[in-house]
Structure 1
Amino acid sequence: MTLHAELRVHRAGFALELDLAIEPGEVVALLGPNGAGKTTALRALAGLLPGSHIRTEESTWDKLPAEKRPIGVVFQDYLLFATMSALDNVAFGLRARGTRKAEANEIARHWLAQVGLAEFAKAKPRTLSGGQAQRVALARALATSPELLLLDEPLAALDASTRLRVRSDLGRHLQHYPGHTLLVTHDPLDAMVLADRIVILEDGRVVQQGTPREVVRQPRTDYVAHLVGLNFYRGVAEGTEVRLDDGGTLTIAEPAQGPVHVVFPPSAVSLYPDKPAGSPRNTWQAIVSGIEQHAHTTRVDLAGNPAVLADITTATVAELRLQPGDTLWVSLKATEIHTYPR
């Protein structure tokens, strides 16, 4: 049964207006910058804020208090009870709902085994690693057989090496969860790896949604383009020429007409100290405004018409002797540019 949620939360200076539909077994990621309304949406769904209308084909949750809603939550810092064992933490929600202790403990042992922590049943939270604590929190959320699982930045508290492994574990558990899952995150990699569908939230409104592949291939806002690492522009196409809204013109390989989005990866951009020989389809001068070292490449921020990001090798940086303020020639093949209607 599809879960439908209509969220309307208004407070001073901010309004959240969000409609969500989540299918059984589907993981939807709610992604957006700080202040976009992600946490507000999660709290409204959990019944901690007024302004939510949630329904399935069989029931409506609007009048249910938070503790009665069929929802499991995994918080960013897990919120495990420090004085309770892992087993008691997992059994807590069941006991709170009236399940007998013996039955609650049996179910808790089952879920600890499901997340690979059967031998840690008696362990206190302070003795667990971050990844283990995250799995206990997940087991606690799933033990009550919730219809909706809310994951609030579930990997944010982990270090980089642990995060990679736990993300993989979490993805495997979510594949077998038959309910509806909403993952709230600001990390695009978590969203891309774990979610079946991504909803982008900015200023309390949905600006884009689709599969991870659709979002990566066709970003609709500057924020989304930055997340997926693309140069992004708006312009008007006429045949193989696009006049960009913020200045400059690009030649494209595939003719188009009317308002379009224009994207290309920073790796497609080449930089030269002098105007390149021959006849590249797109060349223009730009000034280096920033240089940032990434893992295996250097990202160069260039001010020009248009402004552009370029990813180049460390060897190229040394060859060009790049410094902020340098003037360079930018070259971009028309075949590297992707356009789609606005």
Structure 2
Amino acid sequence: MTLDADLRITRDAFALDIRLTVRPGEVVALLGPNGAGKTTAVRALAGLDHLSAGHVRVGDHVWDRPPKVFVPAERRAVGVVFQDYLLFNHLSALENVAFGPRARGVPRARARTQARAWLATVGLAEHAGARPRTLSGGQAQRVALARALVTQPDLLLLDEPLAALDASTRLHIRAELGRHLRDYPGRTLLVTHDPLDAMVLADRLVIIEAGRVVQEGPPTEVARRPRTDYIAHLVGLNLHKGTADGTTVALDGGGALIVAEPAAGPVHVAFPPSAVGLYPRRPAGSPRNTWPVTVAGLEQHAHTVRVHLAGSPSVLADVTPAVVAELRLAPGTQLWAVLKATEIQTYARG
């Protein structure tokens, strides 16, 4: 049974209008900038907000279809893991996990047996009696996951489930979460700002901006062919719109690029910042894509420096600290940018 959600909600000046499907065993990641409508979508699926129009159904079970059908949150087969986990501080890990079955009328002894089994599944059997405040962030995240899964929900909602973890813990817990999700037969919707979480955990990405779906598909396809500036920034690519005529693309923002594969009509061109070379003078031999640029800003990343370059076109370039020192890069520095045609992805604008 597939989750089929046509989410249409109007609140003051904001309107959400997206279609989501999630198949059994599938993990779909919902991404978007702040204010895109991700939280509104989660609340609608969980039964915390009413739809203005549309529907939410899993197979033949309709959860919301205005104006006559609305199944409240407590009667939906939904498990939720929130960013802050929202564990009950006065209850042990065992009682936190047992809370779901108890709320559904399962006798205390059986609920505790189910909870113990799930704590063992997530590797926390020895912490059954611990209170949430004594657990690490990764342990609390696993208790929250066990609490969500113990009721065997049709839909699992993960709302920024790794955001509260530090970087080293996040790496380990991400891998562990991926293992649990592969074993979960239900439908999972992962809401996240982190592209790495989405790329590693999800089978399919759905990106929304201003309440609308702007792109969806397998992670590798979205990463290779972003269709908006937000997505390009998310996956770390330069993205420009233009009009192709053979191997020349006239860019909408000014300038032109030579590409390897001929095309015609409106296109996107995308290339990684690492593909952009920087020179103090115009290189001899005049490579096919060479143009003057001015340094507009610099950002320190883990082992590289991202250079913001103003020009026609304006681009991002990733260089080493040694290159920054060698070229004496600073805002206002004038340089030449070089880009090989073979580094550029060209694809039609949808």
- TM-score, normalising length: structure 2: 0.97
The answer for the alignment partner of 1:142 in structure 2 is 149
**In structure 2, what is the Cα distance between the partners aligned to 1:84 and 1:120?**
12
Moved more, 253-262 or 53-62: 53-62
How do 1:49-198 residues align onto structure 2 when only pairs under 5 Å count? Answer: 49-51=49-51, 53-62=55-64, 63-198=70-205
Aligned partner letter, 1:74: V
Aligned partner letter, 1:91: A
The answer for the alignment partner of 2:17 in structure 1 is 17
**In structure 2, what is the Cα distance between the partners aligned to 1:41 and 1:72?**
15
**In structure 1, what is the Cα distance between the partners aligned to 2:61 and 2:203?**
25
Percent identity reads 71
The answer for the alignment partner of 2:233 in structure 1 is 226
1:93-114 CA distance string (max 9 Å, x none) = 1101100011101100010000
The answer for the alignment partner of 2:67 in structure 1 is none
Deviation of the 1:315 alpha carbon: 1.4
The answer for the alignment partner of 1:44 in structure 2 is 44
Is 1:300 matched up with 2:333?
no
Aligned residues: 342
Moved more, 51-60 or 90-99: 51-60
| Long gaps (5+) in structure 2 | 65-69
* Cα RMSD for the two superposed structures: 0.8
Deviation of the 1:55 alpha carbon: 1.3
**In structure 1, what is the Cα distance between the partners aligned to 2:307 and 2:83?**
34
Q: Of the candidates 336, 342, 345, which is equivalent to residue 338 of structure 1? A: 345
Question: Structure 1 residue runs of 4+, over 6 Å off?
Answer: none
**In structure 1, what is the Cα distance between the partners aligned to 2:246 and 2:232?**
24
The answer for the alignment partner of 2:32 in structure 1 is 32
Q: Of the candidates 239, 252, 263, which is equivalent to residue 246 of structure 2? A: 239
**In structure 1, what is the Cα distance between the partners aligned to 2:335 and 2:187?**
51
Aligned partner letter, 1:8: R
Deviation of the 1:58 alpha carbon: 2.7
**In structure 2, what is the Cα distance between the partners aligned to 1:322 and 1:60?**
59
| Long gaps (5+) in structure 1 | none
Secondary structure of 1:164's match?
A: helix
Secondary structure of 1:158's match?
A: coil
Moved more, 296-305 or 218-227: 296-305
The answer for the alignment partner of 1:248 in structure 2 is 255
**In structure 1, what is the Cα distance between the partners aligned to 2:141 and 2:104?**
23
**In structure 1, what is the Cα distance between the partners aligned to 2:56 and 2:6?**
6
Secondary structure of 2:270's match?
A: strand
Secondary structure of 1:300's match?
A: strand
Secondary structure of 2:16's match?
A: strand
